[in-house]
A and B are shown apart, each in its own frame.
Chain A
Amino acid sequence: MRTSSGVVRGPFGWGIALKSISLAWRLLMRQRRAGDLKVVIAALAVAIAALVSVMSFADRLQRALKFQGSELLAADLVVRSPYPAKAEWTAEISRLGLQSAPTVSFRSVVLRDEHSHLAEVKAVGEGYPLRGRVRVAADISGVDAPAGGIPTAGTVWVDGQLLALLNTTVGGQVTLGARRFTIDKVITLEPDRGGEVFAIAPRLMLNIADLPSTQLIQPGSLASYRLLIAGDVVLIDAFRSWMRKRREAGVGLHDASNAQPRFRTALDKGEQFLGLATLISVLLAGVAIARAARNYAQRHLDTVALMRCVGATQGTIVTVFVTQLLVLGTVGGAIGSVIGYVAQQAFVYLLPGLVAGELPWPSLTPAGVGMAAGVITLIGFAAPIILRLRGVPPLRVLRRELGTLPNHIAAVYITAMLTLAALVLWVGRDLVLAGYVLGGSAATILLLWALSLLTLRAVSGLRRRMNVSWRFGVAALARRAGSATGQIVAIGVGVMAILLLTLVRGDILQAWRSSLPADTPNHFLINIQARQLEDITVFFRKYGWPDPQLRPIVRARLIAVNDTPVEAQDFKDAFAQRVVQRAANLSWAESLQSDNKLVAGNWWRDQERALPLVSVEKQYAEALRLSLGDTLRYRIADQEITVTVSNLRSVAWDSFRPNFFLLVPPELLREYPASYITSLHVPRSQTHQINELIKQFPNITDIDVDALLRQVRGLVDRVNLVLEYVFLFTVLAGIVVLYAAMQTTRAERRQEVAILRTLGATQSQLSLGMISEFVVMGLLAGGVGALAAMMVGYGVSEYLLGVPYRFQVGTWLGGVAAAVILVTMAGLLGTYRLWHTSPWHSLRET
């Protein structure tokens, strides 16, 4: 149809919309020729590239870290049960096309002639381990190498220590139950042993096919059955939910996420940091895009006024610019995604061995997120500004001061925050972390906005007393108070984000370093008898080792909770079942060890030293559903003792120090028979001294955790390296923010520089003027941004990552100094070319 004004209208105004879209496209193409769009697309592309590279790298690393977690489990998923795997399970595993391998673990005495010793026996099926490698050596002092398979029929592999204890060598014969075996290899590393350090006597590994011939496993035998499973993530998930639906009592499912507590800190903190880095990249991309969008809208005020003049409706203006935004978002997002992918891949080539084994290929998710983030961020941050273009009056054609964009549009901040919140939740998936980052950003923005305005007013009042260069800088800032505040807010949020990442990274590293110092114990001595305590101390002194910290252990079996007798079958949780089945190690302590933290109740006071109280580790308490005030009855030898839960503790199991699920006051168990445990650090070159100790005290068992410790350290080192590089990428995103912020005032600066040049200003006068402006901006942005980073860093470190936070004035000063230097350098670099541009060109363009 044709309206009275002669405009062709389709149904619902589609004709106009289509015309507007086509107009939008034509305008875009013309700007492309004019080179005007490049800046917007570049800002968008770099921001998205930083986001995509961090995301896809983090995605790959997270999967690699999970894979490393799988190595520590020797599988992707482990089904742990008190009986052998049911046929239905293995049928389902075959149906899904997953790999599996069974293991059976139990304790038994190993005999050789007159020698005998308790061993942790592990029978393994073909394919074990499905993830990671067992390392073996041909003899006790031989060089180890990955084992090619599992022990062959009739042979066993053992820990070196068992050889010493049985006084035999590789090739010797040992008896296990009703069967004789030949010792074939010495085990130096068993991937899935990390969590069992304290539970074990030396290892003896045999082929599961030989297990029946030992006749050791009878109905009711205390054995732990594991079915190791590996394969495609989706299929593993399918099997996991299939198993969960079966709700089989006493069956536990374990994967990398709940694998070895000894590696959890490194993996968890590493993953959380990557999550944080990704969030911060989103935040920085958003801020950069918001500034770029504002510049874009600002540059189009005249176009809009002209379009309005020649009859464009507000609807047309909105359609034209929203279409342009969508095209820009898609193009910038696509370019950014490609650059991001290439960058993170280059990264992988630059860092061989970053993670053990192959890095999995990146998934397409980050590219999708990058593209979507490009469009969403651009719309979320730019739409309120673009919608303002509707209101540009046609009269602007005559009076340019009309219809300029306000510097602070509440809607911009609100939609930007909402967009950011949506993106952060989508990308980060961690509500608490997102809360900290968003809360910190919002507080930073408010504080920066208020402080900037106040400071700019204050310094503006002082300008009469300044020389011309400083006055030029300060006056420029004061006049541009609005846009300068916008710049300061953008830079301040950037400083906050980057510094937050620096601080948290530092805290994580510090926590790791302090949790695993160079002298972390690598040997545990267990089974020390009370009568040997003095002799052991003498032995330690002979080698110049520090006096042993001997921790007592009283073996006790749990028989009742709150006077109700307990049986393994009362609990569905596999861990709870083991707790009830096995003897517990009760220890006592005067005070709380530094790697323990009270989570409920109070530690005992001096007058409570002999009271029947117990301090319970959190996980243990959760498994048995214990709370403060509950009573636990234990049998110790032929006596019973009832203790009341007085506090709950969390334990850093990765500290490599002796730790216990249960602690009682120091006087309570003095009369009960106890053995002792201690840990010490012995350099690898002096391991023979430990052998001497074992010879002198044959009842003592040495557990060598050196290999395990090296495994943890290697992991921590690699995670650390990853964090450093991801951090670098985030800094790049921050530089984009700086660039975008500086671009805002480029046109004005160009004119100012030209006028000053015309009037005879020298380069030093120009640079001093600009430096003064950038220094004030940097001081404000850096000061507030760094302060906010420290506050948010405190929250994230203390409450989220659980690593201690240290306030340091030096960090704040460093943050401020870095902001001042970076802003000034970026500002000077951005304006340097203007000093050498012919003033005539600049003046004529204005």
Chain B
Amino acid sequence: MTPEIIVQAEALTKQVSSPEGVLTILSDVSMSVRKGETVAVVGVSGSGKSTLLGLLAGLDLPTTGRVILNGTDLSRVDEDQRARVRAGRVGFVFQNFQLLPSFTAMENVMLPLELAGRGVAEQEARLGLTRVGLEDRMAHYPSQLSGGEQQRVAIARAFACRPQILFADEPTGNLDENTGGRIIQLLFDLNRERGTTLVLVTHDREIGTRCERRLELSAGRLVGALH
């Protein structure tokens, strides 16, 4: 039996207005990701990878086309309903970590669990932080952590809810090579342990090769799908 599709993009186009006129960032992109799959979206800077990720996760809306995430057509629901679709089911890892500066590491990891109404937030967060090797940094604020440590908090937060799908946007982009390598290893290890679907955006072809499938974007168009 074919695993079911968790996210599907149909003829996505994204345009923005700029002083020079309308700029097309994505043009007629269609793709789908099946449950449990790991997919890398690769391409050079400015090729539209991150924009595609934002659309797939429902963080932004396409100009035309549609995205179906977990069975919901994201263009047909409002911002609040899109948030509900993500709550507890979708995890994120960003290039610039995006931790809440006013929350401790522990509170940051608890956040998605609490937003999804899970009762055992603290226990789960403790386990998650221990798993990423930050058991003695739980009460630290993001500003007191190094870049690598912050990204580990972000990974612990991303997996805290045991999401069905994880979106990662250049997760090593802000880290040195060594740290980046360790972070990617951690990400793939956790992904394997939890059986999560992974959509990873990267300009690093080598990281891309660690995924089961690679989609290449160039100037906003899908130019190749590699297995």
Whether A762 touches B83, Cβ cut-off 8 Å, given contacts A476-B102, A756-B115, A844-B50, is yes
Check A752–B100 contact: CB distance below 8 A. Answer: yes
**Residues of chain B within 8 A of A178, CB atoms compared:** none
User: What is the total number of residues of chain B having a CB less than 8 Å from a CB of chain A?
Assistant: 35
A479 and B102 contact, CB distance less than 8 A: yes
Q: Point out the residues of chain B lying under 8 angstroms from A218, CB to CB.
A: none
Q: Is A839 an interface residue (CB 8 A)?
A: yes
Chain A positions 826 through 846: 1 when the CB is less than 8 Å from some CB of chain B, otherwise 0: 000000000110111101101
Instruction: Give complex CA distance A757, B101 in Å.
Output: 15
Interface string of B95-125 (1 = CB under 8 A from A): 0101111110001001110111000000000
For B79, the chain A residues whose CB sits under 8 A away are 757, 763, 835-836, 838
Q: In the complex, A833 Cα to B60 Cα: how many Å?
A: 15
A765 interface residue per 8 A CB criterion: yes
Chain A binder among B27-35, B64-72, B86-94: B86-94
User: Is the pair A758, B92 in contact by a Cβ cutoff of 8 Å?
Assistant: yes
Q: A760-B90, A762-B80 are in contact. Are A755 and B98 (CB under 8 A)?
A: yes
Within 8 A of B (CB), among A733-788: 748, 751-752, 754-763, 765
A722 close to chain B: CB less than 8 A? no
B61 at the interface (CB under 8 A from A): yes
Q: Does B84 contact A (CB under 8 A)?
A: yes
A468 at the interface (CB under 8 A from B): yes
- Does B54 sit within 8 A of A, measured CB to CB? yes
Q: How far is the CB of B218 from chain A (nearest CB, A)?
A: 20
Contacts of A761 in B (CB 8 A): 83, 87, 115
Checking B54, B92, B114 against A468 with a beta-carbon cut-off of 8 angstroms, the contacting residue is: B114
**Which of A479, A480, A836, A846 has the most CB atoms of chain B within a 10 A radius of its CB?**
A479
Q: How far is the CB of B124 from chain A (nearest CB, A)?
A: 14
Contact partner of B101 (CB less than 8 A), chosen from A468, A479, A835, A836, is A479
CB of B83 within 8 A of CB of A840, answer no
Check: B141 CB closer than 8 A to any chain A CB. yes
Q: Which of B88, B89, B143 contacts A401 (CB 8 A)?
A: B143
Q: Are A758 and B115 in contact (CB under 8 A)?
A: no
The answer to whether A755 and B100 touch across the interface, beta carbons within 8 angstroms, is yes
Within 8 Å CB of B80, what residues of A? 762-763
Cβ contact of A471, chosen from B54, B86, B92, B107, cutoff 8 A: B107
> In the complex, what residue of chain A is closest to B19 when comparing beta carbons?
A33
B157: chain A residues within 8 A (beta carbon) = 759
In the assembly, what is the distance between CA of A758 and CA of B167, in Å?
11
| Distance A836 CA – B79 CA, assembled complex (angstroms) | 6
Give A756 to B103 CA distance when docked, in angstroms.
12
Question: A841 contacts B60, CB within 8 Å?
Answer: yes
Given B59, B86, B88, B111, which contacts A840 in the complex, CB threshold below 8 Å? B59
Query: Would you give the shortest CB distance from B57 to chain A, in whole angstroms?
Result: 8
CB distance from A765 to the nearest CB of B (A): 6
Which B38-82 residues sit within 8 Å CB-CB of chain A?
50, 54, 57, 59-61, 79-80
Q: Closest residue to A471 on the B side, CB-wise?
A: B107
Is A379 in contact with chain B by the CB < 8 A criterion? no
Please tell me if A208 contacts chain B, counting CB pairs below 8 Å.
no
B83 touches which of A401, A760, A841 (Cβ 8 Å): A760
Please tell me if the beta carbons of A760 and B115 are within 8 angstroms of each other in the complex. yes
> Is A467 part of the binding interface, using a Cβ–Cβ cutoff of 8 Å?
yes
CA distance A754 to B98 in the complex (A): 9
Q: Which residue of A lies closest to B84 (CB)?
A: A762
Determine which of B89, B94, B115, B143 lies in contact with A765 in the assembled complex, contact meaning CB atoms within 8 Å.
B115
Closest chain-B Cβ to A37's Cβ sits at a distance in Å of 18
Tell me how far the C-beta of A299 lies from the nearest C-beta in chain B, rounded to whole angstroms: 18
A55 interface residue (CB < 8 Å to B): no
A475 to B141, CA, bound (A): 11
| Contact for A759 among B50, B92, B107, CB less than 8 A | B92
Question: Do residues A838 and B114 form an inter-chain contact, with CB atoms below 8 A?
Answer: no
Measured CA separation A730–B114 after assembly (Å): 44
CA A765 to CA B113, docked complex, whole Å = 13
Q: How far is the CB of A758 from chain B (nearest CB, A)?
A: 6
CB distance from A838 to the nearest CB of B (A): 4
Question: Is A478 part of the binding interface, using a Cβ–Cβ cutoff of 8 Å?
Answer: yes
By a CB distance below 8 angstroms, the chain B residues around A471 are 107
* A468 contact set on B, CB distance < 8 A: 110-111, 114-115
Contact A467 B143 (CB under 8 A): no
Residues of A within 8 A of B143 (CB): 401
Smallest CB-CB separation from A467: which chain B residue?
B114
Which A residues are CB-close (under 8 A) to B88?
760
Instruction: Report if A760-B100 is in contact (Cβ < 8 Å); known contacts: A471-B107, A843-B59, A844-B50.
Output: no
* Chain A minimum-CB-distance residue to B122: A464
- Docked pose: A479 CA to B57 CA in angstroms: 29
Measured CB to CB, the nearest residue on chain B to A759 is B112
Whether A839 contacts B111 in the complex (CB less than 8 A), given A476-B102, A760-B84, comes out as: no
- Check if B60 sits within 8 Å of A840, measured CB to CB: yes
The docked-state distance in angstroms from the alpha carbon of A480 to that of B143 is 13
Q: Which of B85, B86, B98, B102 contacts A480 (CB 8 A)?
A: B102
Asked if B86 and A479 make an inter-chain contact with CB atoms under 8 angstroms apart, the answer reads no
CB distance from B119 to the nearest CB of A (A): 12
User: Smallest Cβ distance from B152 to chain A, in angstroms?
Assistant: 17
Assuming the contacts A476-B102, A843-B98, A844-B50, asked whether A760 and B59 have C-beta atoms less than 8 A apart, the reply is no
Within 8 Å CB of B101, what residues of A?
479, 748
A-B contact pairs, 24 of them (CB 8 A): A468-B114, A468-B115, A478-B102, A479-B141, A748-B101, A754-B98, A756-B115, A758-B57, A758-B86, A759-B112, A760-B84, A760-B86, A761-B83, A761-B115, A762-B80, A762-B84, A762-B87, A763-B80, A835-B79, A838-B54, A838-B59, A838-B61, A839-B59, A844-B50
Write the residues of chain B forming the contact surface with A, with a CB cutoff of 8 angstroms.
50, 54, 57, 59-61, 79-80, 83-90, 92, 94, 96, 98-103, 107, 110-112, 114-116, 141, 143, 157
> Contact residues of A with B, CB < 8 Å?
401, 467-468, 471-472, 475-476, 478-480, 748, 751-752, 754-763, 765, 835-836, 838-841, 843-844, 846
Q: Which 10 A-B pairs have the closest CB atoms?
A: A760-B87, A479-B102, A468-B114, A840-B60, A840-B59, A840-B54, A760-B86, A475-B102, A838-B60, A759-B112
4 new A-B contacts, CB < 8 A, other than A759-B112, A761-B83, are A468-B110, A763-B79, A838-B61, A838-B79
